[in-house]
Structure 1
């Protein structure tokens, strides 16, 4: 049984900070992507976002009002180092310094994610994740953040959802930088990102001024069993880690090297014609000791097995529940994912993202009523705590997200927040789900 549990919420730098034109932040690949016609819904961009740069103190006060025990935020690499390498932007570093102090003054523990997709544009021009120096660039950036903040920050995540920024950003072109590379180049970028993870962990361990707690936050692509039989459970677990097609949208291609020190055998066999050159030294660099498995989970696919052991998908029922992202509502995903990830990787599990997109607005009384989000959060967290009660070491849950924000290729069309943001006036309004979450945090486990 896990000894403690952290209730938090999360956000990402590009999605909330704004202030591209000023304060020294350099451009990132998402700035480039937003300028390309048709890439982002309604041609929205992150230039202003939620203007968290100017509203930071108010936003932290709102977090405290909700009762957050922790806030997971990402550092913008080009805000700190505008060109990705070289000269540091003192205003950028000072912002995160103030953010950490403000969080601690409000009894909120900072959890830092080092990379949440806003790759420096100037490094993209040098090949980005395809460049063999990219892992060292990331380690050098990590050293700057650790030197500045690790006297007060002990919780770290290296990469957020490499499946997304590699698969969507470099294979399908749906996300920044919008590339549609051949699969060998996709796997090269993925391998360099994994090396960046490993070197960042080494850097944190070597230079942290406090005892560091380190993990990563991959997206959790989960299968759940329709029946609670050994056969069906084992089939769902196997499907959760299996690699069956040539893409990077899976768990094990990234997590196995991080935690087990090797690529999965089924992936190696399937990807063999496209593998980049690598050796055991690379795998030793990637596989650094980690303290938790961070999983971003929103949905799952359900499977069933018949008497002959055949595995079949179970389609959603007619009229079943979907969020505004068209994601099936499957609360059991947190129960089974936490069990499956712990059994494979043998470290505590933290849900580093979970939540619901909706189309929320302020009513005539000044409230934001979002009962569907409350139901979803309750059912998902109940499922997670059921796994915890059964002995799975689950150390925390972070709601996505603390506030409405720029939702990548969908612009500002979908709202995930516990706090509503009026993007014209920047007024913040705690939603009913935010008040519910405060009560959930204060309720004994």
Structure 2
């Protein structure tokens, strides 16, 4: 069941973006996440994660699970060979905490550590830099049962986990992110139970504990990894009111602080944003803000599209989903396509946080892709999306944004959380029945972008 390393012969329907302003040392890459691709859920001593449990709850589309996923655990060499063909310089992936600590703390699982050693070996042999994210949502279930992120003790648990990762891989890996999208896994956590205003208090405690865990992990990585380059990966995008009603306008401003700045502001600027500061104040102990505000080296941006909000007094922090404006292009999964918002976001975060920005996720989701009669997967929508967003990135650099890298979500079609396997973001199509890898037309197109940019970048 080997993949074909030759991308589809079909010509892309969109030309290459004009890149006049990016740096010569600009980094091109792809991103994935452990639970979404690895599989091997019950192998080599791995413990259960909260997502293993949630998949058995019946809330995931088609009752899909991460038990096999893309089987990257066994097929990582094949996947790294595809990355080499693509021509990327960096690969951002996450470590599965329950693969390292099956119970979240205590005994270390050597076979789990050994898997990532093998992956890093393969990346080094391919000339691809590994970027490690410590946490991409797969909390060990054993820690969830001890209160998870609502238990302040998790700060120490996470620091211990970070110490093991830094000690094991720090001689070969220098790029680390503490968390992926804490604004998402906090606002939309199922750990809060009923999604009403009774969950507000839990959310505020959760936010502060994640920030403290971040600070503790940064200190540990500085201690264990010489010349570490550390950042946060956050989902940051415009939050627009769905109407001009005063309550919707106010709610959009509030949600922007929760979604975009509840983690980035304390971590990079040393303070919570204005609109949520008082709500979190009861959970702040003396010295906490200093523990959170540790020196960072880069800012990781995940961005897809703006969100449109209305006020719902019965929902957590009043967050309601409003209608999207008519006339804006949308992907097959109904996400608006607004590259100008991407450009403006890059400019905003570069100015607000003063750190080099790396786009750590950007991509196009579809629920209609499949191989054609020739066995090829031609995805003009994704090519057009990537072309327009990469062009917007170049425009942001021209306007002064310090953007130094871009990573597509994702290398592979994968488990897309509550959508299961019904949504595809990959440059590579996965036939889930056989696990065969089929590079899409967008794979060849992105490889052409990289070759062109590395040969002609300013």
Query: Normalized against structure 1, the TM-score is what?
Result: 0.88
Deviation at 1:53, TM superposition (A): 0.5
Structure 1, unaligned runs of 5 or more = 225-238, 304-312
Structure 2, unaligned runs of 5 or more = 1-21, 241-248, 310-321
1: CA distance between counterparts of 2:284 and 2:343? 36
CA contact (8 A) 1:139 1:200 kept: yes
Give the alignment partner of residue 6 of structure 1, picking from 10, 13, 27: 27
Instruction: Say whether 1:220 aligns with 2:223.
Output: no
Give the alignment partner of residue 198 of structure 1, picking from 202, 211, 215: 215
CA contact (8 A) 1:2 1:393 kept: no
Change (3 A) 1:181 1:417: farther
Deviation at 1:36, TM superposition (A): 0.7
Change (3 A) 1:205 1:82: same
Q: Deviations over 1:285-334 (max 9, x none)?
A: 1111111111110012699xxxxxxxxx996343x421233210011122
Aligned to 1:321: 329
Change (3 A) 1:3 1:276: farther
CA contact (8 A) 1:173 1:180 kept: no
Deviation at 1:173, TM superposition (A): 5.9
Instruction: Say whether 1:388 aligns with 2:409.
Output: no
2: CA distance between counterparts of 1:111 and 1:241? 36
2: CA distance between counterparts of 1:129 and 1:105? 37
Aligned to 2:301: 295
Give the alignment partner of residue 71 of structure 2, picking from 45, 51, 54: 51
Change (3 A) 1:280 1:264: farther
Change (3 A) 1:17 1:171: closer
Give the alignment partner of residue 263 of structure 2, picking from 237, 249, 254: 254
Worse-matched range after superposition: 14-23 or 324-333: 324-333
Aligned to 1:308: none
Deviation at 1:131, TM superposition (A): 1.1
Aligned to 1:398: 407
Deviation at 1:412, TM superposition (A): 0.4
2: CA distance between counterparts of 1:14 and 1:393? 31
Q: Match of 1:218, SS? A: strand
Deviation at 1:241, TM superposition (A): 12
Instruction: Say whether 1:283 aligns with 2:293.
Output: no
Give the alignment partner of residue 224 of structure 2, picking from 207, 218, 222: 207
CA contact (8 A) 1:252 1:264 kept: yes
Give the alignment partner of residue 47 of structure 2, picking from 26, 29, 32: 26
Give the alignment partner of residue 342 of structure 1, picking from 350, 356, 370: 350
Stretches (4+) displaced over 3 A? 170-174, 178-181, 239-243, 313-318
Q: Deviations over 1:380-426 (max 9, x none)?
A: 00100111133311010110000000000011000000000011101
CA contact (8 A) 1:184 1:276 kept: no
Aligned to 2:376: 367
Aligned to 2:138: 118
Q: Match of 2:235, SS? A: coil
1: CA distance between counterparts of 2:164 and 2:431? 34
Change (3 A) 1:384 1:41: same
Give the alignment partner of residue 67 of structure 1, picking from 75, 87, 92: 87
Q: Match of 1:158, SS? A: strand
Change (3 A) 1:262 1:58: same
Q: How many residues align?
A: 413
1: CA distance between counterparts of 2:282 and 2:196? 18
1: CA distance between counterparts of 2:286 and 2:323? 40
1: CA distance between counterparts of 2:449 and 2:286? 46
| Greater RCO, 1 or 2 (C-alpha within 8 Å, sep 6+) | 2
Q: Match of 2:346, SS? A: helix
1: CA distance between counterparts of 2:198 and 2:37? 29
CA contact (8 A) 1:170 1:181 kept: no
1: CA distance between counterparts of 2:324 and 2:37? 35
Aligned to 2:19: none
Q: Deviations over 1:110-166 (max 9, x none)?
A: 000000000000111111011111011001001111111111101110000111111
1: CA distance between counterparts of 2:450 and 2:135? 28
- Quote the RMSD (CA, aligned, Å): 2.5
Query: Normalized against structure 2, the TM-score is what?
Result: 0.85
Q: Match of 1:9, SS? A: strand
